[in-house]
Amino acid sequence: MRAYTLGEIAKFIEAEIIGDADVKINSIATATVAQNGQLTYIVAPKYKKNLIHSRASAVILNRNLLNSCPTNALIVDDVYLAFAKLSHYFKPPTPQLTGIHPNAKINHAKLGQGCLIGKNVVLGKHCVIGANCVIEDGVKIGNNAYLYANVTILQNCVIGNNVVISPGAVIGAQGFGNAKDRHSRWHTIAHLGNVVIGDDVSIGANTTIDRGTLEDTQIHNGVRLDNLVHVAHNVVIGQDCAIAANTGIAGSTTLGKRCMIGGMVGIVGHLNICNDSVVNAKSTVDKDIKTPGIYTGIMPLMQHKQWQNIGIWLVKLDKIVKHLNIKLKNLKGY
């Protein structure tokens, strides 16, 4: 991946440079981890602390945060849109796979018919790769992995030991990130992070795990994902969680250890769910869960016992209304 000068980047995103236009930028990173040679972006004043302590070589920001910027700045009106446009310049090219690349280390894995394996792929010992699997460039897979037919693992993802991935699963697809311009047109964000999956993980059929925007989507050891689960970009799923079918987890949400999520649960983005949380089927999680327990509900989410109490009253509402109407008629009769 080539490096760009700050002057070149300013032209890409139509930004005003404050600082050295000749500074070389080789990648984009979040403000908390960016180092020399990297660029970051700050979208809102609430991230001002991250900006002040950033070690990035340059920052994309609005003019109202310029006085807090400790390094070179690229001033734009819409930071998120500028980042969306710039991300594509740092996206690695899509591999064109035609078979098994000669430098792939497959370590005597059992390969089904029609497999495509890219360059710099490393397979651990005793792996079984089903028919028509696609493993793109730079993927690392540990020992004893079992990939059923038609699994796709996109470039640079990391899979641990003893992982089982069922048919049709897709690991490392682009996340659903878009920025809208002033003409209400969408600009897709290129996701530059990876997916990192730990040991002893089971992934169900047609489940999708999106790669992170800049940092990695993480599935920790011992996790069980059912069929048709969607894990969005930058999600972190803690050790020994179990998630049932048709659940969707929106971007940048973190699940603690040993959580159990029922079928068809919807979890909105940027939440934190604590260890040992249980969410019953068809619930919507729209706020942080800070206390371990069993939760049920559409909106708002609440403790399961509270939901049970409310449920008792809900099924009696028609009788309550009839009773109140009778009382009202009697009062009018007076």
Which residues are known to be catalytic? Answer: 233
Q: For residues 117 and 104, is the Cβ–Cβ distance under 8 A?
A: yes
Residue pair 232/213 in contact by the 8 Å Cβ criterion = no
Task: Please measure the distance between the N-terminal and C-terminal CA atoms of the chain and give it in whole angstroms.
Answer: 86
- SS3 (DSSP) at 75: strand
Sign, CA torsion 270/274/275/281: negative
Structure tokens at 242: 């179990």
For residue 51, give the 3-state DSSP assignment. Answer: helix
Euclidean distance between CA atoms 288 and 81, whole angstroms: 28
Q: Which residues of 17-33 are buried (b: 16+ CB within 10 A; e: fewer)?
A: bbeeeebebeebbbbee
Helices marked H in the chain — which ranges?
Answer: 6-13, 48-52, 79-87, 304-314, 317-333
CB 159 within 8 A of CB 145: yes
